[in-house]
Amino acid sequence: MSWRPRPRSWAWATEVNRFTVIYDACVLYPAPLRDLLMRLALTDLYRARWSDQIHEEWINAVLRNRPDLSRAQLERTRSLMNAHVRDALVEGHQPLIPALELPDPDDRHVLAAAIQCGADLILTFNLDDFPEQALASYGLGACHPDPFLVDQLNLDAERVCMAMRQHRASLRNPPKTVEEVLTTLEGQGLSRFSQAVRHYAAEL
């Protein structure tokens, strides 16, 4: 697996976009969504961020469910993510954690990382873990990946289709048709996005 860098809806701002999105661990596992989100992060549609603790959460989730994979393989993926996505790794946020309040205290590190890097959005499947009233005072929102990706498609279909092409091209064992790729994403909770991007099937 490799990614090559490329020199309010959730939104387009400038030529080099400053809209910043924290990826929660749950959107980084399973692998197809993670790969697509990495490729989107390289388009400059937005700035993607994460922390070492977020890495540990998704890696541990994979290892629990995929005994055929080794930690060394997943550490290589972590290294590729950190190397290829500009300024992605958030550091220095741990002192913020004790003062934060969320339904699950174990999620406070995600909010702390978002505050530390001035993020606009937490991308997560677990919206109940990041209630609006807990985020509003920090100028933050939380969004499910499905409407987020639909927004990106509406903002810049060319870049999203490019990311989708690269994602499909990376699937070589075995190769996947466009419909197979979209069916997989549907199964990962991206039904609206999969339906919307089908209109661009010839470009995928």
User: Rounded to an integer, what distance in angstroms lies between the CA atom of residue 111 and that of residue 100?
Assistant: 8
Q: Same domain, yes or no, for 191 and 161? A: yes
Averaged over 183-197, what is the pLDDT?
Answer: 97
Q: Same domain, yes or no, for 163 and 181? A: yes
Q: Same domain, yes or no, for 140 and 153? A: no
- Angle, in degrees to the nearest 10, between helices 31-41 and 178-187: 110
For the cut 90, the answer to whether the pLDDT of residue 170 exceeds it is yes
Q: Which residue among 111, 144, 177 closes a domain?
A: 144
Q: Same domain, yes or no, for 138 and 161? A: no
pLDDT tens digits for 126-150? 999 999 999 999 999 999 999 999 9
| Res 6: pLDDT | 41
pLDDT tens digits for 57-109? 999 999 999 999 999 999 999 999 999 998 999 999 999 999 999 999 999 99
Q: Same domain, yes or no, for 182 and 99? A: no
CATH number at residue 59: 3.40.50.1010
Q: Same domain, yes or no, for 137 and 199? A: no
Closest to 90 in 3D by CA, of 55, 50, 119, 56: 50
Q: Which residue among 144, 168, 192 closes a domain?
A: 144
Q: Same domain, yes or no, for 80 and 181? A: no
Averaged over 109-124, what is the pLDDT?
Answer: 98
**Whole-prediction pTM value?**
0.91
For the cut 90, the answer to whether the pLDDT of residue 154 exceeds it is yes
Mean pLDDT, the chain, rounded, equals 92
2 located within any domain: no
User: Rounded to an integer, what distance in angstroms lies between the CA atom of residue 34 and that of residue 190?
Assistant: 13
| Cβ atoms 90, 50 nearer than 8 A | yes
Q: Same domain, yes or no, for 30 and 60? A: yes
44 located within any domain: yes
Which range of residues forms the domain containing residue 192? 149-203
Count of structural domains, the chain: 2
**CA–CA–CA angle 36, 39, 43 (5° rounding):** 135
105 located within any domain: yes
Q: Which residue among 144, 166, 189 closes a domain?
A: 144
